[in-house]
Amino acid sequence: MAEKLRELWEQLVAHQITRDIDGWVESFAVDGVMEWPFRLKEVPPRLEGRPAIRAALEPVWDRAKKLNRRISGHERVVFHETTDPEVALVEFDIVGESARGPFRQTVLYLLRARAGRVLLLREFVDTAALSELFQVGAS
């Protein structure tokens, strides 16, 4: 199951690079959940179901496109298996370009999946730094 979780994580982050919101949303179970324990500005702390995930993230992804803010890769990836075969922890850095130049954002995902779909993605991220990055050039 660990390999399936790793493949699912790789699929998710590939959608970030290609800016494929449809692929991102379809990676979730119909009733999948996305959470941010450390609140993101203008994004609900918990999104339940594909429609809610799309509704909250699509404007963020659209703004990133308009401002030419791009994720170019994921580095320093450490994949942790757990005793629960449906759960993995993934530490990594998101790297990319923004109006200020290159950026690096350290992230921890708690990923719970079944049947090749995300049941829960809990994203631990430096929300102050991320909010600042989102606001650069925002209008």
The pLDDT tens digits for 17-64 are 999 999 999 999 999 999 999 987 778 999 999 999 999 999 989 988
Q: Which two tokens stand for residue 103?
A: 């950026």
Q: What is the mean pLDDT of the chain?
A: 91
C-beta separation of 40 from 131 below 8 A: yes
Query: What are the residue boundaries of the structural domains of the chain, listed by start?
Result: 2-135
Of 135 and 102, more confident:
102
* Strand-pair category, 117-125 with 28-35: parallel
| pLDDT tens by residue, 88-104 | 999 999 999 988 899 99
- Identify the CATH number of the domain defined by range 2-135: 3.10.450.50
- pLDDT at res. 86: 97
The pLDDT of residue 134: 61
